[in-house]
Amino acid sequence: MQQRLQVIILAHVWALVPVAVAWFARPAWRGEYAPKDVSALLPFAIISAAYLILRTWLTVIRWTPRLVVLYPYMDVGLVTAGLIVLRNPSDPLSILYFIPLASAVASLSMGQITAVGAATVIAYLAAIIVSSVPWTIGMLYRLIMLALMSSLYWLIIKIVSTYARAAERAEYRAELSREIHDGVQHLLVTLGTRLELARRLVHEAPGRVEQILAEERETTRRASDEIRYLVRRLRIAAQHSDLAPALRMQIAAMSDRWPFALDVKVPTTLPRLTPKAEHAVLRVIQECLTNAAKHARATKVEVKISTTNGQIQCAVVDDGTGFDPSTVEGTGLAGLRERVQSAGGTLEISSTSGRGATILAAFPIAKPTFVLWRKLEF
């Protein structure tokens, strides 16, 4: 997403290039107050062109995300240098200050947006002072506009982000409530009902009571695992804002008791999904590992997360006994398919008896507007 935003910004800057070339080539188009001799601007123009070409290469060909923070400041510096060379702070070139402001809003945090806004105002004030030209109402107007637009951008981002976080927290709480109701509460109700049955049969059928107690030991373990899962999910939400480490941490926590070799392949970073989709990814992995342990008698399971064609794909492959995919209706995989579909994803099941199974879940990467993707929490 960061790369896409930088490409959009560069596309708009490149759209100005023909205008700049025409400005240099046709003196009559420069306006009444523009300099007739632009030879002093040639070094500046060459440096600006080299910077634009290099930045485009670093964005499109060799993506360098660490430089994103520096680009707005470099843009401010170039625009200021151009105004100083022209000795005219009122030149239309000053309008280009809005490009680094927009770039900061699209790419940076709240504090960094404030810093870029302050740097822009100070840079334009410096251009006025260094140019040694008398103050005009137009200069004052531009200075006030830069300050007001910086403040307006900051306030808009703050308000929109606050509402986004509130909506996401509400969605997260609702999802967690459903998980507790459908998971732990259901298991505990079942456990209570079965234990009540065992109490009634304790004198009439002690053998049946022993069978019930043995079965419900598994129920208590599942309830305990579910509580551990939910607690880990809450902790991870506070620790990680990136999906990749959160997934690795959850998978590692789930893999402590599996009777097979588990190979996990997760990229260093992953784009965020909606909370519901991210939760569905974990449930796919959890259900597949449980089935591989309980039914498939697998000796090796591979979990692979990848980003392909605008999707995050989660593949779980085991070397177990396999099954007939047409029989999944009414099983845990059928419920898992419904969960994946409700989160906007797709689930493919491929298996042959005696040759293991492959479960592939795919979720489209959301296309959030503005900067809201940074606020999604796991």
Q: Kindly report, residue by residue over 187-203, the tens digit of the pLDDT.
A: 788 888 888 888 888 88
Both 249 and 375 in a single domain? yes
Rounded mean pLDDT, 318-336: 76
Closest CA to 30 of 40, 39, 20, 41: 20
Q: Which residue has the higher pLDDT, 179 or 339?
A: 339
Residue 304: the pLDDT is 93
**Contact by Cβ (8 Å): 276, 370:** no
Domain contains 234: no
C-alpha span between 317 and 138 (Å, rounded): 67
The pLDDT of residue 372 is above 50: no
Domain contains 174: no
pLDDT confidence of 253, banded at 50, 70, 90? low
Mean pLDDT score of the chain, rounded to an integer? 79
Q: Which range marks the domain in which residue 372 is found?
A: 242-378
Q: Which residue has the higher pLDDT, 261 or 41?
A: 261
**Which tokens hold the place of 34?**
């523009």
What are the CA-CA distances from residue 306 to residues 216, 244, 360 (Å)? 38, 10, 11
CATH assignment at residue 269: 3.30.565.10
Q: Which residue has the higher pLDDT, 366 or 87?
A: 87
The pLDDT of residue 342 is above 90: no
End-to-end CA distance of the chain: 18
Residue 378: the pLDDT is 35
**Which tokens hold the place of 224?**
């305990």
Domain contains 256: yes
Question: Where does a domain end: 109, 134, 159?
Answer: 134
Single-letter code of the amino acid located at 19: V
Question: Where does a domain end: 113, 134, 155?
Answer: 134
Question: Where does a domain end: 79, 111, 134?
Answer: 134
pTM given for the model: 0.48
**Contact by Cβ (8 Å): 233, 241:** no
Q: Sheet of 357-364: strands edge to edge?
A: 261-265, 300-308, 311-318, 357-364, 346-351
3-state secondary structure of 221: helix
Domain contains 57: yes
Residue 28: the pLDDT is 67
Domain contains 354: yes
What are the CA-CA distances from residue 80 to residues 52, 67, 187 (Å)? 16, 20, 66
pLDDT confidence of 373, banded at 50, 70, 90? very low
- Give the range with max mean pLDDT: 49-63, 184-198, 216-230: 49-63
pLDDT confidence of 37, banded at 50, 70, 90? low
- Looking at the 3D structure of the chain, how many domains does it have? 2
Domain contains 327: yes
Both 377 and 247 in a single domain? yes
The pLDDT of residue 375 is above 50: no
Rounded mean pLDDT, 288-312: 86
Q: Produce one character per residue of 143-159: b if its CB has 16 or more CB atoms within 10 Å, e if not.
A: bebbbebbeebbeebee
The pLDDT of residue 368 is above 70: no
Domain contains 363: yes
Residue 50: the pLDDT is 92
Q: Which residue has the higher pLDDT, 329 or 10?
A: 10
Both 124 and 246 in a single domain? no
Domain contains 199: no
pLDDT above 70 covers a percentage of the chain that reads 83
Give residue 233's Cα distance to chain centre.
17
* Paired residues of 312 in beta bridges: 307, 363
Rounded mean pLDDT, 41-47: 84
